[in-house]
Amino acid sequence: MEPLRQLQSSVVIENLGFLLQGLKLTVGVSVVTMALGLVVGLLIALARGSRYRLIGALAYLYTELFRTLPLLALLFWIYSSLPILTGITFTSFVSAVLAFALTVSAHQAEIYRAGIMSIAPAQRQAALALGMSNAQVMRRIVLPQTAARILPVTGSLWISLFKDSSLASIIAVHELMFQGRVLAANLFRPIEILTTVAVIYVIALYPQAQLVNFLYRRFMPDGG
């Protein structure tokens, strides 16, 4: 019980602003990454269905590579090795976003593809019979329905991304986990600081998780 008597809540109060600055960067990394993942993932998913075999094969290799490559290994490689190969220096923020975006887009591409394949072929055939082009069928018929069907799974991917953004602290991105580690080391108060970091993550993620649960119940009643 002695360590508990020595806990200092004032340490948390005095440094809460510093931790919240890290939370802002956590949100920033996650939002930028998700935006890129949604766009690139859609392009990869469409490429998987291309009538050109080479394009489809390259898209397949992309999804398999970045879905199976450990995120931490990719993060270190982009931050440490890619600048040597390209001669371009990447900031830690750019390195983190690039690593996360490659991984998220690969997973999102498979989510898109599953949603697209879930649309009944009869709908496409009917649209083509009405004189629509393949592009119009995809844009007007398939993608709007796909967007609703994949929303819950995409929400789950967002939750995972938000949590995994803490890995960016390894390459000195000043997000929430990094700020917490710095404070804990400088103040020699790991219990108070790291517990507060954990609580901040829970407070930030719990409403999002509940929203995702609602989306599963709303759009996937049989699987929620």
pLDDT in tens, 105-129: 999 999 999 988 888 888 878 887 8
179 CB burial (10 A radius; 0-12, 13-18, 19+): buried
- Output DSSP code: residue 174: -
Does residue 224 sit within a domain? no
Does residue 200 sit within a domain? yes
Does residue 54 sit within a domain? yes
Distances (CA, A) of 175 to 179, 199, 201: 6, 15, 12
Place of tokens 């629509």: 132
What pLDDT score was predicted for residue 99?
97
Distances (CA, A) of 201 to 23, 114, 212, 220: 9, 30, 16, 27
Query: 161: domain range?
Result: 2-219
210 CB burial (10 A radius; 0-12, 13-18, 19+): exposed
pLDDT digits (tens, 9 = 90+) for 21-31: 999 999 999 99
Residue-level length of the chain: 224
CA dist., res. 209 & res. 212, Å (int): 5
CATH number of the structural domain spanning residue 197? 1.10.3720.10
pLDDT digits (tens, 9 = 90+) for 57-74: 999 999 999 999 999 999
Place of tokens 């002695």: 2
Tally of domains in the chain: 1
Averaged pLDDT, groups of 10, the chain, 224 residues long: 61 91 96 97 92 94 96 95 91 96 97 88 81 80 84 94 95 95 92 94 95 84 51
CA dist., res. 203 & res. 223, Å (int): 26
**Residue 201 near residue 18 (C-beta atoms within 8 A):** no
Does residue 176 sit within a domain? yes
Kindly give the residue spans of alpha helices, DSSP state H, lying in 49-133. 53-68, 71-76, 82-86, 92-117, 121-129
Provide the residue type at 65 as one letter. Answer: L
CA dist., res. 21 & res. 6, Å (int): 27
CA dist., res. 163 & res. 197, Å (int): 12
CA dist., res. 147 & res. 12, Å (int): 42
